[in-house]
Amino acid sequence: MISSRFLRRSYYELDKLPAKCAVNYLWCNSADDLRTNIFCVDAKGTGAGGAFITVKDAANFWKGLLDGKLLSKDMVENMLKKHSGEGDDPEEGYYGYGVWIIDGGKKQDIPYFQGCDPGVSFMSEYNPNKNMISVYVSNYCDNVWEIARDIRNA
C-alpha cells in the first residue's frame, strides 16, 4: 500500500530537502566536473516533474496496482495492454494507459514507467514472465535505462 505520508510529501522545495535526500548531479563540460541540478529544475516539483520517490514507494505502487487495490483487475488489465504505437523502437514502441510497454514477443509484454530531469533518472517495470518488479533510481540524469536493459536480458 502506498503510504499517505508519501503522497502528502512527494514534492519538496529544493532548499528544504528532508534528511537523507539524495542530491542530484549533472556533468558540466565547461568546468569538467559534476554540479548539482539546483539551477536546472523548478524550485518545487509539479505534476509535470520534480517528484521525490523511494524505491519502496515505486515497488508498493506496482504491488497495489497488480493486487487490484488501486484499480479493478479489469482496469489494470486494460491499462497494461498496448493501445498505441508502431513498435519501431523495442522499448518505446508501444503505450498502454499511463505506461510504456516493451513487446514480449512470444512472452508476456513488460509494462514500465519512467522519468528524468536534469540530474535525475528513474525507471520501474513489472516483468510478468519472471514475476519481478524492478526499480531503478539515479541521482544522475541518464544511466538507468542501460542497467534496466542488462538486468532484463540476464
Interior/surface letters 120-130, b for 16+ CB within 10 angstroms, e for the rest: bbbbbbbbeee
pLDDT of 83 reads: 95
pLDDT of 65 reads: 95
pLDDT of 5 reads: 45
Angle at 81 between CA 151 and CA 88, to 5 degrees: 65
Strands 100-102 and 33-36: what pairing?
unpaired
* String of DSSP letters for 29-44: TTTTEEEESTTTS-SB
pLDDT of 35 reads: 73
pLDDT of 4 reads: 45
d(CA 95, CA 75): 15
**pLDDT tens track of the chain, all 154 residues?**
444 444 444 777 777 777 887 777 777 777 787 777 777 666 666 666 677 778 898 999 999 999 999 999 999 999 999 999 988 887 778 999 999 999 988 999 999 998 877 777 889 999 999 999 999 988 877 778 888 989 888 8
CATH code where residue 90 lies? 3.40.710.10
d(CA 67, CA 2): 13
Give the pTM. Answer: 0.79
Do 83 and 96 contact (CB within 8 A), yes or no? Answer: yes
Host domain of residue 23: 4-153
pLDDT of 23 reads: 73
pLDDT of 45 reads: 67
Cell numbers representing residue 153 in the block: 536480458
Instruction: Tally the domains of the chain.
Output: 1
pLDDT of 48 reads: 64
pLDDT of 69 reads: 93
Q: Which of 123, 103, 107, 105 is nearest to 115 (CA)?
A: 123
